[in-house]
Amino acid sequence: MTQEILKYQEIDGKLKKLESELSNLPERKKAAEMQNHLKEGQIRLEKVETNAQKTMENFNKAKAYYNELMVKIEALSKTIETADLDKIRELQHSKNNFYQMIEKLEKELSKINTQLTIVNNEYNTIIKNAKIAKTNLEDCRQKFADAKQKLEPQINSLKVELTEAGKKVDKKLLEKYLQKRESKFPVIVKNINGTCGGCRMAISASKMGEFKDNGYIECENCGRFIVE
């Protein structure tokens, strides 16, 4: 294991730490939460609007039917004066049925009106929460942008330094390092009393003998490079 790859990992570790710091900024997480909140609010709003539309359709149908009944009752009342006794009884029975239907209809209209009130209140609540979320999102984005502006020069500088350090490392070794880096870090660890400094598994006797040949070995358990 050459000093060049160890130097590369040292720079890589600093870069990884800064990138992680930037990625895990509270403002970034909060901004993501606000975005999700706004998306959820949009979905709820669409459902509320659909429910409101259906409720209004039912209301208009009920209102039209109510008006139709009132016209029929008025017409019925006029015919009672010229009708014979049987006809009057028949009309009176019909009139009573109409009134029962109207009473039922009025209850339905009252129920629909209550539903509209609920829908309207929910709509107002969603809009209010959305405005708050939008304000918080803009605030978080600005704070994240400020933090990013402070960290980015250091990150960019380390990226340049890492690229230069990578030119001094054996290409095959660097390729192996980069493959391992995706799943584990650090890639290169110390031999700690015969165990891997990464996963703490014991190093076999046969593997220990490879140190003299290569200057490093690959852990049989976690795959990290182990140096003495």
pLDDT (0 to 100) of residue 161: 94
- pLDDT tens digit string along 133-161? 788 778 878 888 888 888 899 999 999 99
Distances, alpha carbon 122 to alpha carbons 44, 127, 166, 168, 209, in Å: 9, 9, 58, 64, 72
Instruction: Say yes or no to pLDDT of 1 above 60.
Output: no
Task: Provide the residue count of the chain.
Answer: 228
Cα 104 to Cα 25: distance, rounded to the nearest angstrom: 60
Instruction: Say yes or no to pLDDT of 13 above 90.
Output: yes
CB under 8 Å to 140, separation ≥6 — which residues?
27, 28, 30, 31, 34
| Range of weakest confidence among 59-63, 143-147, 177-181 | 59-63
Distances, alpha carbon 145 to alpha carbons 44, 128, 201, in Å: 30, 26, 43
Q: Provide the mean pLDDT of the chain.
A: 81
| Range of weakest confidence among 74-78, 123-127, 166-170, 186-190 | 74-78
Identify whether residues 46 and 80 lie together within a single domain.
Answer: yes
pLDDT (0 to 100) of residue 192: 93
Taken in order 40, 21, 160, 149, the sign of the CA dihedral is positive
The residue out of 136, 168, 200 marking a domain boundary is 168
pLDDT (0 to 100) of residue 85: 61
Cα 116 to Cα 93: distance, rounded to the nearest angstrom: 35
Residue type, 174: L
Average confidence (pLDDT) over 163-172? 91
Which two three-digit tokens encode residue 144?
């994240």
Identify whether residues 223 and 123 lie together within a single domain.
Answer: no
Identify whether residues 162 and 180 lie together within a single domain.
Answer: no
Instruction: Say yes or no to pLDDT of 73 above 70.
Output: no
pLDDT (0 to 100) of residue 41: 74
The residue out of 117, 143, 168 marking a domain boundary is 168
Residue type, 156: N
The number of C-alpha atoms within 13 Å of 172 and in the hemisphere containing its C-beta is 1
Question: Which residues constitute the domain of residue 218?
Answer: 175-227
The residue out of 149, 168, 187 marking a domain boundary is 168
Identify whether residues 156 and 57 lie together within a single domain.
Answer: yes
Domain count, the chain: 2
Instruction: Say which residue, 211 or 199, is predicted with more confidence.
Output: 199
Average confidence (pLDDT) over 116-140? 78
pTM given for the model: 0.56
Which two three-digit tokens encode residue 40?
């959820």
Which residue pairs, CB below 8 angstroms and at least 24 apart, start in 59-63?
59/109, 59/112, 59/113, 59/116, 62/105, 62/108, 62/109, 62/112, 63/109
pLDDT (0 to 100) of residue 3: 85
